[in-house]
Every structure is written in structure tokens, then in C-alpha cells.
Structure 1
Amino acid sequence: MSSLSKYIFVAVVSGLSAVTCSEAIMTLAARAPASQAARAETALHMAISEPAPAGPAATIRKSADGEYWAQGQVNGASVRFLVDTGASAVALTPADARKLGFDMAALNYGYRVVTAGGSTRAAAVKLASVTVAGARLDNVDALVIEKGLDTSLLGMSYLGRLASFQATRQALILQP
């Protein structure tokens, strides 16, 4: 096949692809207005019901062991956290949960979780407030880990609700 034939072949295939794609886009666009309106209404509702937090950036210094340790205030009580972006939720040790006033016998350990110590059970709880380095969030979902957790973890149920967070060589910067 000559180079001119190859060029013509590629041009024809490209043209057919463009026509097919544009027809698919037009078909989807004709069906989209209702779903776009629903998505826009949902986004508007979310924006109204949970306004973005605002405030100055908070800083947690990296410790000598290379970890980010944070002294937090949870429901008014002091809790020491290891910042863990790999933890999907704030995870509390039984000792910290007791300190916060949770009735350990009344908790429903209905979740299976995997920690560095292995598989264990967890109970879902709601924290009225969590403040770390001045960055406060209210109504934070958390888990009380039944066993195997040496220290409470500041996970993504807190970190993910911040406007942003950034790890540098020296510190973790939280933007509420």
C-alpha cells in the first residue's frame, strides 16, 4: 500500500470516527438536560446545607520519627492523634472513647475493619467537634476500634472535609 493510500485510509477512518462520536454526543446531549438539572439541584442543595469551612491555615509540625502527631480537642477533651491519610475515618482507641464519655458496652461493633494490627471490629460514632491546631469541624464521623489500635488516628472523615491539606517536609498544613 502506498503512502498516499495509507493517508487516505487514515483520513477516512478518522472522519467516520468523528461523525460517530459527534452523533453519540448529540444523542447524549438530548437526553442530558433532566439529569443535569437534577445534578445541579443536588450540588446547590449540598452547597447550601454544608457551607465550606473558612479560617486561617493550621500547622502540625513533623515529629522526629517522621510522623505527624497532633494534639486535638474532641468534644472538649484532649486526644493525641497520629495523622493517617490512609485511614478512611477518624479512629479512636477504646481508652480515648471512654475518655470522651462513650459507653463501651452500648456501642454496636457492627463494622469489620483492617488495621495495621490485623482485622477487628469497630463501632460507628459521631463526634460533636474535632479541633486540631485550631482547625475545627463539627459532626465528624468516627469509629471506635475494638482492639489492636495503639493510638487514635486522624483519618479522612476529618481531613477530607477540610478545604485542603498539604504535607511538606516540615509540616502538615490544614486549611479549614
Structure 2
Amino acid sequence: MTRLLGFAVFASIVAMAFPSVFERYRATLQTGEAEQLTPPAKVVEAALPAPASGRGLQLRAGADGHFRTEARFEGRIEPVLIDTGATYVAVNERTARRLGINVPPEAFTGVAQTANGPMPVALAKARRIAIGSVEVRDVDVMVAKGEALSTTLLGMSFLKRLKSFSASGNTLTLVP
């Protein structure tokens, strides 16, 4: 039943995506111009954590509506995107090594379904992740094989360990 439901969701997403792909292809054929497939790089500034009233801190959303900031993994600073839709804190293999999260090659036994298809993953632990004064220890981290994941995601394996977190307007409040 779960597989059938997963297939139905996948088929729905594909069905919605293909009309726009077909229209772009047809427009390209009519104009004779090549389509630019590589979008220009966006410069996004990380928000610095600000103390919240009481204990905790507040983050402001960027112009794109996402909450980005810098987190410390074992004291090493890493830009992150806070993603309540991600089950785990997620990093690619190179970032994991740089942050001191060592994953042996044989640990990549899991598979994550992404928009770009299946991706081999391994589960590991980060001893300490902090944003400003908000710190969580022994956090589950999903490590993606290779460099497929270009942005480090701060997911629910970090957020659910807080006393609370809430978003109101353009502000995300984290309470340890």
C-alpha cells in the first residue's frame, strides 16, 4: 500500500512537471534559440542569529523566504538552510569529512529518494551542532554519497531536540 501511494505521488508530480517541459521545448523549436539550462548563481547572505526575548534566538528569513544561517559543527562553521521538511540534518560526503563526521564507504547502505532520483546515503552522528547559543548534542546526520547535495540542511533531527521552534512571519524562533 505504501509503495502504491508513493508511486501515485511520484506520478502526480511527474505529470505536473511535463507540460511545462514540453512547452519550453516547443517554444525553443519555434524560436530557434537554445535554452539556457544553467541558471546564474544566486548570492544569498546568511542571517546572523539574534537573541530572542527570554532564552533562545531568532532568525530572519532571506529575500527568498528561506531561513539560512551559519551553524557550528564541532566548532567548524558551515552555512545551513533550515528545512523542517528534512527528516535529518543532511550533508554531502565532502562536507561531512570537513566537519569531522567520518563515514566509511561501506556505511552507504541507505537510499534517499530526491528530485534528482535515488541517492546512496549513510546515517552518522554529529557530537555537537550549535546556532548561536542554541546547541544540540549527538545529532543524527544523513550523509549523501559524493557531492550530490550542494546545501547543508538543518532538518528535524536537530529541530525536534529543541524545547521549541516556531515561525511567525519572517522570523524563526529557536528555544533550547
TM-score above 0.5, yes or no: yes
Contact 1:70–1:133, Cα closer than 8 Å, also in 2? no
Match of 1:64 in 2: 63
- Structure 2: unaligned runs, 5 residues or longer: 1-53
Contact 1:117–1:149, Cα closer than 8 Å, also in 2? no
Q: Please give the alpha-carbon distance, in whole angstroms, between the structure 1 residues aligned to 2:94 and 2:79.
A: 11
Deviations 1:82-128 (A, max 9, x none): 11111101001223112113445546101111233331011111100
Matches within 5 A, 1:16-165: 56-103=55-102, 105-106=104-105, 108-146=107-145, 147-165=147-165
Deviations 1:103-159 (A, max 9, x none): 455461011112333310111111000101321011101111114211010000000
Q: Please give the alpha-carbon distance, in whole angstroms, between the structure 2 residues aligned to 1:73 and 1:107.
A: 27
Greater shift, 151-160 or 140-149, is seen at 140-149
Q: Please give the alpha-carbon distance, in whole angstroms, between the structure 1 residues aligned to 2:118 and 2:164.
A: 30
User: Structure 1-normalised TM-score?
Assistant: 0.64
Q: List structure 1 runs of 4+ shifted beyond 4 angstroms.
A: 103-107
Q: Please give the alpha-carbon distance, in whole angstroms, between the structure 2 residues aligned to 1:168 and 1:81.
A: 20
Q: What is the count of residue pairs matched by the alignment?
A: 122
Aligned with 2:107: secondary structure? coil
* RMSD, aligned CA: 1.7
Evaluate the alpha carbon distance shift between residue 119 and residue 159 of structure 1 in structure 2; reply closer, same or farther with a 3 A threshold.
same
Structure with the larger helix share: 1
Q: Please give the alpha-carbon distance, in whole angstroms, between the structure 2 residues aligned to 1:64 and 1:81.
A: 16
Q: Which letter does structure 1 place at the counterpart of 2:163? A: A
Greater shift, 65-74 or 97-106, is seen at 97-106
- Shift in Å at residue 65 of structure 1? 1.2
Which of structures 1 and 2 has the bigger CA Rg? Answer: 1
Match of 1:24 in 2: none
Aligned with 1:87: secondary structure? coil
